[in-house]
Amino acid sequence: MPTSAEPAIIYFVRHGESHSNTENRIQGHSDSGLSARGIRQASKLAKKLSRSGIQKIICSDLGRAKNTAKIVAGQIGKKIHLNSSLREIHLGDWEGLTTDEVDQAYARGYQRWLKSPTKMKIPGAETVPQFHKRVRTVAESLFDQHPGGPTLVVTHGGVIASLLSYWLRADFDYVLLNLRVDNTSVTVVERNAFRHKIHCLNDVSHLSAKDLSRKNIFTER
């Protein structure tokens, strides 16, 4: 059993590319399956993590995260544990719409969101403070429950961005607009008695250039 003095290490991974990602469609809590490239990304991720000593796999209960986690679990032989608190931010009435449709229906709402995401008031959406509280609370609980070896958490880009803004003490808008969280990227974080230490950020070394999904729902880069 781990002791309180032992550091906890979590591999935070964004899900593989989904069909909605390829369509520039806003997902939030809505869902779609992995694209062919997303499946390929997850398979390469599984190979990368096969010798990482992962002891536990926890993932968002949304299909794009579950499907990614299943591919990794099949490679490393671990059971998947679902946690709905690891879901992406709920984006209310925008969910299921393409970015162009949002611009047409909400007075260039997506373009305004790109300039200052946290100031946009999206009808029916989860508030940013609610989102931060949800994901930061679950992340700390997962660090508390570490199994004596690395834990893999398969989640979403917005979740990882929220956590990065917390650990880096950086503005959330800045993180969303300036730091990449690519599909199946790996961000490794250690928590000890004193602090969080980021060992790597957005590691996509397992992907070739053709495997990278360069469109990002927050930045379009």
- Enzyme catalytic residues: 15, 88
Maximum Cα–Cα distance across the chain: 55
* Three-state secondary-structure class, residue 59: strand
Beta bridge partners of 34: 18
Closest CA to 187 of 205, 169, 214: 205
Which contiguous run of DSSP H or E holds residue 152? strand 151-155
Beta bridge partners of 13: 154, 186
Q: How many CB atoms lie within 10 A of CB 137?
A: 11
Between CA 182 and CA 83, with CA 69 as vertex, the angle to 5 degrees is 100
Query: What CA–CA distance (Å, rounded) separates 170 from 217?
Result: 20
Sheet with 8-14, strands from edge to edge, namely 80-82, 56-59, 151-155, 8-14, 186-191, 196-203
Retrieve residue 213's tokens: 């999904």
